[in-house]
Structure 1
Amino acid sequence: MTYGHMARKTSPASKGRSGRARASVPRIALRDLTPRALLRRALFWLTRAALAYAALILVLILLYTFINPPITLTMLSERREVGVLVHDWVDADEMAPAVLRAVVAAEDANFCEHWGFDMRAIRAAIDAGSNRGASTISQQVVKNVFLWQGRSWPRKALEAMITPVVELVWSKRRILEVYLNVAEFDTGIFGVEAAAKGYFGVSADKLTARQSALLAAVLPDPKGRDAAHPTAYLNRRAASITDGAATIRADGRAQCFGED
């Protein structure tokens, strides 16, 4: 008997056994699963997705300790809506110290004293029936760099989880540096360097105390306020910020973001 004849004789049996082996393996379709099994499977994949997202955010936080964020979702959204995006990154060492103090005085006077959440401001906002003024610079950095705009509960929850990690990994100076580079100061104008050039025709390191205060004053409403042509209210607000910045410098709070 030749080898080929043996192969032809045994081949059907082998195929049969192989077919039976394959047929014996159960194949479970989603329609065959019970509601409890479907829930377990959904929770499994949701958990995996959440862990993957958390890992991605952690990697970005670590990277952005040394690497500057190239762009944010807010910048992309603004460019899509208005067709303009002006953004020039500048290190904190190349900013006028007055602008760092002014932004802290305007946006988060207790910046050097909290771990990401200003509990005193939060309690005051709750007592006043509002959440205005309760968001710290650290929270705004997290929202601008890692998340999206809006007041939805999912975003707030993610912001609350990410902010302490950023505070733990980044220095206060780095947090403030990133904030001043990603904040919107005018329609499509992001970062203090672009704002200084657009409003006053100078670079960020040449900003005066008054110019710095005016830039800080437009942050809550960058599309509705004009630092180059301030209203009476904006002038009063800038004067108040200038006084606050001087106080921060005098009482030593500015030391936390690298000022002697």
Structure 2
Amino acid sequence: MENEKLKQHATNVRRHILTEVHAAQSGHPGGSLGSADIVTTLYFDEMDIHEGNVNSIDRDRFVLSKGHASPLLYGALCEKGFFPEEELLTFRHLNSRLQGHPNMNYLPGVDMSTGSLGQGVSTAVGMAMANQLDGKPYRVYTLLGDGECQEGQVWEASMAAGHYKLDNLCLIVDHNGLQIDGEVAKVMNVDPLEDKFKAFNFHVIKINGNDFDEIKAAFKEARETKGMPTAIIAITTKGKGVSFMENQAGWHGIAPNDEQYEQAMKELGGADGE
């Protein structure tokens, strides 16, 4: 897909994210906005997933390991046409399919129920192993946060992925340098991530995670890499697209008020926020 079309989809996904979090007056906008370009590229350019095969085992898989970024996943699925836009307003409401962490039992297109950090990576490794054992060509992608890399389970799963040479697995780290308590480097430094994943027998690619050309090139390189899994270290801007949210750890897990929501929607296009 051309970059201009991807950019428009990503802008719409960001608008969906804000709509969800504002309607619920809770949720996690910062990291969701920052990873929107990556996930948009996955769903609209990279992965084999559409309404016709969403319930099939024979397709690519995506695991949102940082499950608190559920507004991003729902925003992408909505933009892809898996559910109507008005359902975004039910985010985190009682009996909604769009809960604060994704539940694969509720919504088609959610490939794993996630929330406990580190567990999504493990399940993605299991999926990739299953495809390898079954001789299936489908790929598995998982997105995790840099703060999530403080979890030991991430590295246990990575050890297995490297050991079993899972070249059908692509792990993407949203490396925005911020987590709920502040700067990742000050809370518990995870760098150098590139060297660590290399030590676990990953092919490592470092990119600007808000640049479509670099994102697409990285996914192509990952597909062409044989004999080892790929880790993409994506340097992103937390809160990308909304000026007052960018690079602000405080927007990790709070919702905009009415005035802030209106301003953010205007920044993303449309004088009236529509």
Q: Which TM-score band (shorter chain)?
A: under 0.3
Greater share of helix = 1
Report which of the two structures shows the higher radius of gyration computed on alpha carbons. Answer: 1
More strand by share: 2
What is the TM-score of this pair, normalised by structure 2?
0.25
